[in-house]
Amino acid sequence: MNTSKFTTSKCTNEKITTVKKALLTSVMLGVVGTASAHSGGIQAEKNNTKNASFDIVHTKISTKGNEATFHIAVSEKAGSVKPTPTGKLAGSDVFSYVWPTTLDSYSVGFEHKAGILALAVTSHPDFDDTPLYDENGDGQNDNDGNVWHSHWVVLQPNEACGPGALGVVDIPEGMQPRLPHTWPGLPILIDSPDLSPEFNGETVEVKVTFDKIEDVKLANFDGVTSGLRVNQSAHSPLLCVVDVFDVASGDLSLPGKVNQ
Protein backbone atom coordinates (compact mmCIF):
# COMPACT_ATOMS: atom_id res chain seq x y z
CA MET A 1 0.00 0.00 0.00
CA ASN A 2 1.29 3.44 -0.93
CA THR A 3 0.17 6.74 0.51
CA SER A 4 1.38 10.31 0.52
CA LYS A 5 0.37 11.86 3.85
CA PHE A 6 -0.53 11.02 7.44
CA THR A 7 -1.28 13.10 10.50
CA THR A 8 -0.76 12.52 14.21
CA SER A 9 -3.03 13.46 17.07
CA LYS A 10 -0.27 13.23 19.65
CA CYS A 11 2.03 15.88 18.20
CA THR A 12 0.03 18.83 16.99
CA ASN A 13 1.65 21.30 14.62
CA GLU A 14 1.56 23.93 17.37
CA LYS A 15 3.38 21.69 19.82
CA ILE A 16 6.05 20.64 17.35
CA THR A 17 6.60 24.25 16.28
CA THR A 18 7.02 25.33 19.89
CA VAL A 19 9.65 22.74 20.75
CA LYS A 20 11.78 22.96 17.60
CA LYS A 21 13.69 26.06 18.61
CA ALA A 22 14.19 24.68 22.12
CA LEU A 23 15.42 21.41 20.63
CA LEU A 24 17.94 23.18 18.41
CA THR A 25 19.19 25.24 21.34
CA SER A 26 19.61 22.13 23.49
CA VAL A 27 21.52 20.28 20.78
CA MET A 28 23.78 23.20 19.93
CA LEU A 29 24.65 23.65 23.62
CA GLY A 30 24.95 19.93 24.27
CA VAL A 31 22.27 20.10 26.98
CA VAL A 32 18.90 18.36 27.20
CA GLY A 33 17.07 19.67 30.23
CA THR A 34 14.33 17.03 30.37
CA ALA A 35 16.55 13.97 30.01
CA SER A 36 16.09 13.07 33.68
CA ALA A 37 12.36 12.66 33.12
CA HIS A 38 13.00 9.43 31.24
CA SER A 39 15.84 6.97 31.27
CA GLY A 40 17.23 4.93 28.44
CA GLY A 41 15.08 3.61 25.64
CA ILE A 42 11.80 5.46 25.16
CA GLN A 43 8.49 3.66 25.57
CA ALA A 44 6.02 5.55 23.39
CA GLU A 45 2.25 5.97 23.45
CA LYS A 46 0.49 3.68 20.95
CA ASN A 47 -2.23 4.32 18.40
CA ASN A 48 -1.64 8.03 17.97
CA THR A 49 -1.03 8.17 14.24
CA LYS A 50 -3.23 6.92 11.43
CA ASN A 51 -0.82 4.35 10.01
CA ALA A 52 0.51 1.59 12.25
CA SER A 53 3.77 1.28 10.30
CA PHE A 54 4.73 4.77 11.58
CA ASP A 55 3.23 4.41 15.08
CA ILE A 56 6.31 4.29 17.31
CA VAL A 57 6.00 2.11 20.41
CA HIS A 58 9.66 2.00 21.43
CA THR A 59 13.06 3.30 20.41
CA LYS A 60 16.56 2.76 21.74
CA ILE A 61 20.26 3.01 20.89
CA SER A 62 22.65 0.38 22.22
CA THR A 63 26.36 -0.19 21.71
CA LYS A 64 28.67 -3.19 21.52
CA GLY A 65 32.34 -2.54 20.97
CA ASN A 66 32.59 0.35 18.54
CA GLU A 67 29.20 -0.39 16.93
CA ALA A 68 25.92 1.33 17.79
CA THR A 69 22.51 -0.15 16.95
CA PHE A 70 19.70 2.33 16.31
CA HIS A 71 16.29 0.70 16.90
CA ILE A 72 12.67 1.74 16.36
CA ALA A 73 9.65 -0.53 16.94
CA VAL A 74 6.21 0.36 15.57
CA SER A 75 2.72 -1.08 16.00
CA GLU A 76 2.97 -3.25 12.90
CA LYS A 77 4.80 -3.84 9.58
CA ALA A 78 7.69 -1.38 9.72
CA GLY A 79 8.66 -0.22 6.24
CA SER A 80 5.47 -1.47 4.59
CA VAL A 81 4.31 1.99 3.42
CA LYS A 82 6.26 4.10 0.93
CA PRO A 83 5.50 7.38 -0.85
CA THR A 84 3.44 7.43 -4.01
CA PRO A 85 5.67 8.21 -7.03
CA THR A 86 5.08 11.57 -8.71
CA GLY A 87 7.38 11.12 -11.70
CA LYS A 88 9.49 14.18 -10.92
CA LEU A 89 11.92 15.46 -8.32
CA ALA A 90 10.22 18.76 -7.45
CA GLY A 91 7.44 18.25 -4.93
CA SER A 92 8.21 14.57 -4.40
CA ASP A 93 7.82 12.92 -1.00
CA VAL A 94 10.24 11.18 1.35
CA PHE A 95 9.09 8.90 4.19
CA SER A 96 11.48 8.34 7.07
CA TYR A 97 12.28 6.68 10.38
CA VAL A 98 14.56 9.11 12.23
CA TRP A 99 16.76 9.25 15.33
CA PRO A 100 17.52 12.90 16.21
CA THR A 101 20.55 13.00 18.51
CA THR A 102 22.74 15.34 20.51
CA LEU A 103 25.82 14.02 18.72
CA ASP A 104 28.06 16.71 17.27
CA SER A 105 27.71 16.76 13.48
CA TYR A 106 31.53 16.68 13.31
CA SER A 107 31.46 13.05 14.49
CA VAL A 108 30.21 11.84 11.08
CA GLY A 109 32.14 14.25 8.85
CA PHE A 110 30.34 17.62 8.89
CA GLU A 111 31.41 20.90 10.52
CA HIS A 112 31.20 21.20 14.31
CA LYS A 113 27.71 21.98 15.67
CA ALA A 114 26.17 22.47 12.23
CA GLY A 115 22.69 21.64 13.55
CA ILE A 116 20.71 18.64 14.77
CA LEU A 117 22.47 15.46 13.65
CA ALA A 118 19.97 12.71 12.85
CA LEU A 119 20.22 9.22 11.44
CA ALA A 120 17.38 8.62 8.98
CA VAL A 121 16.09 5.57 7.14
CA THR A 122 14.26 6.84 4.06
CA SER A 123 12.35 5.84 0.95
CA HIS A 124 11.63 8.16 -2.00
CA PRO A 125 10.74 6.63 -5.39
CA ASP A 126 11.31 9.77 -7.48
CA PHE A 127 15.06 10.23 -7.03
CA ASP A 128 18.22 8.42 -5.97
CA ASP A 129 20.62 9.99 -3.47
CA THR A 130 22.97 7.04 -2.88
CA PRO A 131 25.11 7.23 -6.05
CA LEU A 132 27.82 4.94 -4.70
CA TYR A 133 25.59 1.95 -4.08
CA ASP A 134 23.22 -0.39 -5.93
CA GLU A 135 20.62 -1.19 -3.29
CA ASN A 136 18.24 -3.11 -5.54
CA GLY A 137 21.02 -5.17 -7.16
CA ASP A 138 20.10 -4.49 -10.79
CA GLY A 139 23.54 -3.25 -11.85
CA GLN A 140 22.57 0.43 -11.76
CA ASN A 141 23.37 2.87 -8.97
CA ASP A 142 20.88 5.59 -9.85
CA ASN A 143 17.44 3.98 -9.70
CA ASP A 144 16.91 2.64 -6.20
CA GLY A 145 15.66 5.55 -4.10
CA ASN A 146 12.51 3.53 -3.43
CA VAL A 147 14.52 0.94 -1.49
CA TRP A 148 14.78 1.82 2.21
CA HIS A 149 18.28 3.19 2.85
CA SER A 150 20.16 5.23 5.45
CA HIS A 151 21.41 8.82 5.70
CA TRP A 152 22.97 11.16 8.16
CA VAL A 153 21.27 14.55 7.88
CA VAL A 154 21.80 17.87 9.64
CA LEU A 155 18.56 19.70 10.50
CA GLN A 156 17.79 23.27 11.49
CA PRO A 157 14.62 25.35 11.73
CA ASN A 158 14.00 26.99 8.35
CA GLU A 159 11.17 29.47 8.01
CA ALA A 160 11.21 28.94 4.24
CA CYS A 161 9.89 25.43 4.96
CA GLY A 162 7.00 26.90 6.96
CA PRO A 163 6.56 28.57 10.36
CA GLY A 164 8.82 26.73 12.82
CA ALA A 165 9.47 23.89 10.37
CA LEU A 166 12.72 21.95 10.16
CA GLY A 167 14.70 21.45 6.98
CA VAL A 168 17.89 19.72 5.96
CA VAL A 169 20.56 22.43 6.04
CA ASP A 170 21.30 23.87 2.59
CA ILE A 171 24.86 24.53 1.39
CA PRO A 172 25.00 28.10 0.03
CA GLU A 173 26.33 28.41 -3.50
CA GLY A 174 30.10 28.89 -3.52
CA MET A 175 30.65 27.49 -0.03
CA GLN A 176 32.64 24.31 0.57
CA PRO A 177 31.99 23.11 4.13
CA ARG A 178 33.50 20.01 5.67
CA LEU A 179 31.57 17.02 4.27
CA PRO A 180 31.73 13.21 4.69
CA HIS A 181 33.49 11.30 1.94
CA THR A 182 30.19 9.61 1.04
CA TRP A 183 28.33 12.92 0.57
CA PRO A 184 26.10 12.32 -2.48
CA GLY A 185 26.72 15.68 -4.16
CA LEU A 186 23.42 17.33 -3.24
CA PRO A 187 23.63 20.98 -2.02
CA ILE A 188 22.52 20.00 1.50
CA LEU A 189 24.13 18.55 4.62
CA ILE A 190 23.39 14.90 3.94
CA ASP A 191 25.56 11.79 3.92
CA SER A 192 24.85 8.54 2.10
CA PRO A 193 26.98 5.91 3.84
CA ASP A 194 26.74 2.20 3.20
CA LEU A 195 24.47 1.47 6.17
CA SER A 196 21.76 -1.02 5.27
CA PRO A 197 18.66 -0.82 7.48
CA GLU A 198 17.25 -4.12 8.70
CA PHE A 199 13.46 -4.51 8.80
CA ASN A 200 12.04 -7.39 10.82
CA GLY A 201 8.30 -7.37 11.38
CA GLU A 202 7.57 -4.39 13.62
CA THR A 203 11.18 -3.18 13.91
CA VAL A 204 13.78 -1.28 11.92
CA GLU A 205 17.43 -1.22 12.97
CA VAL A 206 20.63 0.31 11.64
CA LYS A 207 24.10 -0.70 12.81
CA VAL A 208 26.73 2.06 12.69
CA THR A 209 30.45 1.83 13.42
CA PHE A 210 32.00 4.89 15.12
CA ASP A 211 35.62 5.89 15.60
CA LYS A 212 34.74 7.39 18.99
CA ILE A 213 32.02 5.23 20.47
CA GLU A 214 32.32 7.02 23.82
CA ASP A 215 30.73 10.11 22.22
CA VAL A 216 27.73 7.97 21.27
CA LYS A 217 27.42 6.56 24.78
CA LEU A 218 27.06 10.10 26.14
CA ALA A 219 24.46 11.19 23.59
CA ASN A 220 20.74 11.67 24.00
CA PHE A 221 18.22 10.80 21.32
CA ASP A 222 14.58 10.59 20.29
CA GLY A 223 12.61 8.63 17.70
CA VAL A 224 10.52 10.22 14.94
CA THR A 225 8.58 9.05 11.91
CA SER A 226 8.04 11.80 9.37
CA GLY A 227 7.43 12.90 5.84
CA LEU A 228 9.74 15.28 4.01
CA ARG A 229 9.20 16.96 0.66
CA VAL A 230 11.47 18.29 -2.06
CA ASN A 231 10.79 21.98 -2.69
CA GLN A 232 8.70 22.68 -5.80
CA SER A 233 11.62 24.72 -7.16
CA ALA A 234 14.03 21.87 -6.30
CA HIS A 235 16.20 24.59 -4.82
CA SER A 236 16.92 26.26 -1.48
CA PRO A 237 15.42 25.03 0.76
CA LEU A 238 15.81 21.72 -1.02
CA LEU A 239 14.29 19.35 1.55
CA CYS A 240 11.80 20.23 4.30
CA VAL A 241 10.03 18.27 7.03
CA VAL A 242 6.34 18.67 6.15
CA ASP A 243 4.63 15.94 8.23
CA VAL A 244 5.47 14.59 11.66
CA PHE A 245 3.71 11.23 11.95
CA ASP A 246 4.86 10.32 15.46
CA VAL A 247 7.46 11.31 18.07
CA ALA A 248 8.55 8.75 20.66
CA SER A 249 8.91 11.25 23.50
CA GLY A 250 5.84 13.24 22.46
CA ASP A 251 7.69 16.56 22.59
CA LEU A 252 11.05 16.10 20.81
CA SER A 253 12.90 16.53 24.11
CA LEU A 254 15.48 13.84 23.24
CA PRO A 255 15.15 12.04 26.60
CA GLY A 256 16.65 8.73 25.46
CA LYS A 257 19.95 7.58 26.95
CA VAL A 258 22.19 5.14 25.14
CA ASN A 259 22.54 1.64 26.64
CA GLN A 260 19.80 2.17 29.24
143 within a domain of the structure (yes/no)? yes
- The H or E element containing residue 92 is none
1 within a domain of the structure (yes/no)? no
21 within a domain of the structure (yes/no)? yes
Please check whether residue 67 is in contact with residue 207, taking contact to mean a CB–CB distance below 8 angstroms.
yes
The per-residue pLDDT of the chain, averaged, comes to: 87
12 within a domain of the structure (yes/no)? no
Look at the chain and report how many structural domains it folds into: 1
pLDDT digits (tens, 9 = 90+) for 149-205: 999 999 999 999 998 899 999 999 999 999 999 999 999 999 999 999 999 999 999
Average the pLDDT over 25-35 and give the result.
Answer: 38
68 within a domain of the structure (yes/no)? yes
The string of DSSP letters for 211-259 reads: S-HHHHHT-EE--EEEEEEE-TTSSSS-EEEEEEEEESSSS----EETT
pLDDT digits (tens, 9 = 90+) for 105-114: 999 999 999 9
Range of the domain at 109: 17-41+56-82+91-257
Query: Rounded to an integer, what is the distance from CA 196 to the centroid of its chain?
Result: 14
8 within a domain of the structure (yes/no)? no
Angle at 246 between CA 240 and CA 249, to 5 degrees: 110
46 within a domain of the structure (yes/no)? no
- The structure's pTM equals 0.87
